Amino acid sequence: MRILWVASKLETGWTGGIGRVLAGGAEALAAAGHELHLAGARPVDGDARPLSGVALHPWPAPRWKVQQLAPLRALLRRLDPDVVHFHSALPHGALVVPLLLLRGRRPTPLVVLTPHTGARSDYPKRLSRLALRWADGVVCPSRWSAERARRAGAEATRLHVVPNGFDAPVRPALPPTREPVVVFLGRLVRSKGPDVLLDAFARVADAHPDWKLVLAGAGREAEPLRARAAALPCAARIALPGHVAGEAKQRLLATASLGCVPSRDDNLPGSLQELQAWGVPTIASEVGGIPELARDGAAARLVPPGDAPALAAALGALMQDAAERTRLSAAGLAAAEERTWKRYAESLLAAYRELAARHSTA
């Protein structure tokens, strides 16, 4: 197949949640022998890192999304792809709707979209809803997000669930011993719930004086969180190192004894996948697609979103139960080992083929 993926933007390092899906999925499709093209707005902080076997097509970042329609149509004329697949936090309604109207009843290219976000999954904008209703196919990372898309108007026969893959971790040559550390990895924004974790840790800190908390990430809540942490009696045991990457991130994941994904809303967070892949026993919010990653509590402890007392109770229980941490670690690793990019590519291609057959006979 000749496949064109369209993203809101290309990334210099492909480290964001959607960026990791774009990089891992595109390279897996290319490795399977398909011609893969990836288009999107040029990064503001440099050039996008090349991807193996994937042709990148950056265009200037527009003020309005509909301004991307002209370069997109020019690229479609030049490539003549079998599939154009839009990847974004919310549906690219301003692009998908006019593209479908201009295509008319022609069978190609097959127009597919994937909304990755857990936030605003009620799809309040009219163009987003139209895109979900009119696209040839909607590929969702979780059963939860597929149900949200169906409620917004996507036909069940055009919905496919294809869970994201994940890169196997590059572990240190000599993994250090696990230490009494609780780690959060992600954007420091309200939707990800780092404030809930901070409050929960403060509730159990006195009873577990050896434990520390690391809130690793950057975001608009960083300074308010620093101020709140500094005012706590356990302030000396709380670190906010900012964004971590490379060896520092590997070391943190190799040494932490507990992970936490306290999201208020989410779909299929890469942070939970990463913690599981490193064997870090994790507590996560029972929201969005998280229970699917957690195997309904078997591969990660689940707590209600935004509930600091419930999260504190789960933290305290696991801090003093090494056997349960070991069990969760093994279950998380087993779940992570099933989510390969090869399997993602195979499932996505099967969805493309089924949607194409259905569209050609419509």
Same domain, residue pair 117 and 214:
no
Same domain, residue pair 228 and 106:
no
**Is residue 217 a part of any domain in this protein?**
yes
**Is residue 219 a part of any domain in this protein?**
yes
The CATH number that applies at residue 247 is 3.40.50.2000
8 A C-beta contact, residue 286 and residue 270? no
Same domain, residue pair 92 and 151:
yes
Same domain, residue pair 247 and 318:
yes
Same domain, residue pair 220 and 84:
no
8 A C-beta contact, residue 186 and residue 271? yes
Same domain, residue pair 136 and 244:
no
Same domain, residue pair 237 and 305:
yes
Same domain, residue pair 113 and 228:
no
Same domain, residue pair 116 and 210:
no
**Is residue 152 a part of any domain in this protein?**
yes
| Strand-pair partners of 9 | 41
**Is residue 172 a part of any domain in this protein?**
no
Per-residue pLDDT of the chain (362 residues; tens, 9 = 90+): 999 999 999 999 898 889 999 999 999 999 999 999 999 999 988 899 999 999 999 998 887 888 889 999 999 999 999 999 999 988 888 899 999 998 877 777 999 999 988 777 788 789 999 999 999 999 999 999 999 999 999 999 999 999 999 887 877 665 668 999 999 999 999 999 999 999 999 999 999 999 999 999 999 999 999 999 999 999 999 999 999 988 899 999 999 999 999 999 998 898 999 999 999 999 999 999 999 999 999 999 999 999 999 999 999 999 999 999 999 999 999 999 888 999 999 999 999 999 999 887 76
Same domain, residue pair 228 and 259:
yes
What single-letter DSSP state applies at residue 316?
H
Range of the domain at 57: 2-165+340-360
Alpha-carbon distance of 227 to 213, in angstroms, equals 15
pTM of the shown model: 0.88
Same domain, residue pair 214 and 189:
yes
Task: Give the chain's domain count.
Answer: 2
8 A C-beta contact, residue 287 and residue 266? yes
**Listed residue (318, 316, 325, 321) closest to 208, CA to CA:** 316
Dihedral angle at the C-alpha atoms of 140, 99, 69, 12, nearest 10 degrees? 20
**Is residue 173 a part of any domain in this protein?**
no
Same domain, residue pair 345 and 262:
no
What single-letter DSSP state applies at residue 105?
T
**Is residue 253 a part of any domain in this protein?**
yes
**Is residue 120 a part of any domain in this protein?**
yes
Which residues have C-beta within 8 Å of that of residue 140, sequence separation ≥ 6?
A: 114, 115, 146, 149, 159, 160, 161, 162
Structure tokens that stand for 108 in this block: 């190609």
**Is residue 174 a part of any domain in this protein?**
no
